[in-house]
């Protein structure tokens, strides 16, 4: 490898301040986009309009950055805005013709992502369309997702393994009498890669095995937690609901239908790498052409999955940078007031929540006297989370 190649390779992780800045810029945009989408989720508003507003905001804000640089910098939507309601688990981002509207009391899951130069920040959040505190099972399932996310934040750290996180989040969900939804993966993020090879399984079972992996300094992860009051085994009810796809870059096939070739060429030009919504394509031709592309594995679909009617599903996802001085959660949003029916008093969960997320490494020179209770060599700076309050510790 030439020294130029090595430098190129080296500069693409968090050791480069410019890379950290790009992650944080993408995060700032997606956090504000999430805020906007939450404010637009009102009874009788159309879901598709809200999804479109989220995507437009991300396109507009990211488009304003890095305008006057020599090298063209790709930027924009890294994951289309999805708004999945009640027992719908994920990926609901309907076409323009869809008439679905919000109703008072809906539990709404918002999922979205932005990238600057391929450095991706994703976020998902759960919000109930009501005034006053959220109570009952809805509060339990949101608190389960939030507490599991807070535990995961403290366990996705250098030296820990992916299995540690999988086991812990299942234990947290069980404490709230909820289940972690199967089939959800937390991925390592790399430049232009939203689904890196290092993953954390949501639920370990014999059917889904992943390689054991250890988290390392300067890595970035999208930690994805989905909880349910049901059995946590969601079903695909209708393939026609699928609207989000990602180009499978390693696959080739000579498409037979003209409509498929037309649509695939449009996708390759507009969305060569990141997931996209079929809303962004010429709609009439899209439906027809997408089927052949999916059948021959040229596109990876993100299906709309459902738990049983009456089940409630919550979703929290955040992006975390494993910096040398500790974990930096760059995407989040504060929750509504929750009044769950369960109180977590499991000592192991409490111990996880009491962990800090920042570590100060011992410097040279004089040894400072440690405050009472400090571990030698590191002091926790993050707010430890009180297991009883169930409020998010970050804005």
In this prediction, residues 258-267 reach a mean pLDDT of 92
Residue 395 has pLDDT above 50, yes or no: no
pLDDT tens digits, 157-184: 999 999 999 999 999 999 999 999 999 9
Q: Which domains does the chain have, with CATH numbers?
A: 17-242+303-354 (3.90.230.10), 243-302 (1.10.10.10)
- Candidates 321, 388, 360; CA nearest to 24 is 321
Helix (H, G, I), strand (E, B) or coil at 107: strand
pLDDT tens digits, 230-247: 999 999 999 889 999 999
Rounded to the nearest 5 degrees, what angle is found at the Cα of 264, between the Cα atoms of 261 and 269? 125
Q: Residue 283: what pLDDT?
A: 66
Residue 386 has pLDDT above 90, yes or no: no
Q: Residue 385: what pLDDT?
A: 57
C-alpha 257/C-alpha 288 separation (Å) is 9
Residue 384 — very low, low, confident or very high, per pLDDT cuts 50/70/90? low
Contacts of 96 (CB under 8 A, 6+ apart): 48, 52, 279, 283
Strand partners, 193: 190
In this prediction, residues 324-342 reach a mean pLDDT of 96
Residue 32 has pLDDT above 70, yes or no: yes
pLDDT tens digits, 101-127: 999 999 999 999 999 999 999 999 999
Q: Cα–chain-centroid distance for residue 282?
A: 28
The 10 Å Cβ neighbour count of residue 167 is: 14
DSSP 304-358: -EE--TT--EEEEEEEEEEETTEEEE----PPPPEE-S-----HHHHHHHTS-SB
Q: Residue 249: what pLDDT?
A: 85
Q: Residue 68: what pLDDT?
A: 83
β-pairing, 220-228 with 313-323?
antiparallel
Q: Residue 67: what pLDDT?
A: 86
Q: Residue 389: what pLDDT?
A: 44
CA distances from 287 to 96, 241, 259, 283, 345 (A): 13, 11, 9, 7, 51
Would the pTM count as exceeding 0.75?
A: yes
Q: Residue 7: what pLDDT?
A: 44
Q: Residue 208: what pLDDT?
A: 75
Q: Across all residues in the chain, what is the average pLDDT?
A: 88
Contacts of 371 (CB under 8 A, 6+ apart): 379
- Candidates 17, 184, 9; CA nearest to 91 is 184
């Amino acid at each position: 490898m030439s020294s130029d190649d090595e430098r190129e390779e080296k500069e693409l992780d968090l050791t480069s301040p410019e890379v950290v800045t790009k992650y944080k810029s993408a995060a700032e945009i997606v956090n504000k986009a999430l805020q906007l989408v939450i404010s637009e989720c009102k009874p009788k508003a159309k879901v598709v309009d809200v999804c479109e507003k989220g995507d437009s905001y991300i396109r507009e804000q990211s488009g304003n950055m890095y305008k006057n640089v020599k090298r063209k910098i790709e930027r924009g939507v890294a994951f289309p805005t999805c708004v999945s309601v009640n027992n719908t688990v994920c990926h609901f981002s309907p076409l323009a013709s869809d008439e679905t509207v919000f109703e008072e009391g809906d539990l709404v899951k918002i999922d979205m992502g932005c990238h600057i130069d391929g450095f991706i920040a994703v976020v998902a959040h759960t919000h109930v369309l009501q005034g006053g505190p959220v109570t009952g099972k809805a509060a339990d399932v949101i608190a389960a997702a939030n507490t599991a996310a807070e535990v995961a934040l403290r366990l996705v750290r250098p030296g820990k393994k992916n299995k540690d996180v999988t086991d812990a989040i299942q234990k947290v969900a069980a404490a709230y009498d909820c289940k972690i939804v199967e089939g959800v993966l937390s991925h390592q993020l790399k430049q232009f890669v939203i689904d890196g090879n290092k993953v954390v399984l949501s639920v370990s079972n014999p059917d889904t095995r992943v390689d054991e992996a250890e988290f390392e300094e300067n890595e970035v992860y999208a930690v994805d937690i989905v909880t349910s009051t049901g059995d946590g085994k969601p079903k695909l009810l209708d393939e026609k609901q699928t609207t989000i796809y990602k180009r499978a870059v390693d696959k080739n096939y000579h498409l037979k239908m003209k409509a498929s070739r037309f649509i695939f060429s449009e996708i390759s030009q507009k969305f060569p790498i990141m997931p996209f919504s079929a809303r962004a394509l010429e709609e009439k031709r899209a439906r027809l052409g997408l089927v052949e592309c999916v059948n021959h594995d040229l596109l990876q679909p993100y299906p709309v999955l459902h738990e049983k009617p009456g089940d409630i599903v919550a979703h929290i996802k955040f992006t975390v940078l494993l910096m040398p001085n500790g974990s930096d959660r760059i995407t989040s949003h504060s929750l509504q007031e929750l009044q769950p029916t369960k109180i977590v008093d499991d000592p192991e969960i409490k111990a996880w929540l009491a962990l800090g997320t920042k570590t100060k490494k011992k410097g040279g020179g004089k040894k400072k006297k440690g405050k009472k209770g400090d571990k030698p060599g590191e002091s926790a700076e993050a707010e430890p989370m009180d297991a009883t309050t169930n409020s998010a510790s970050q804005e």
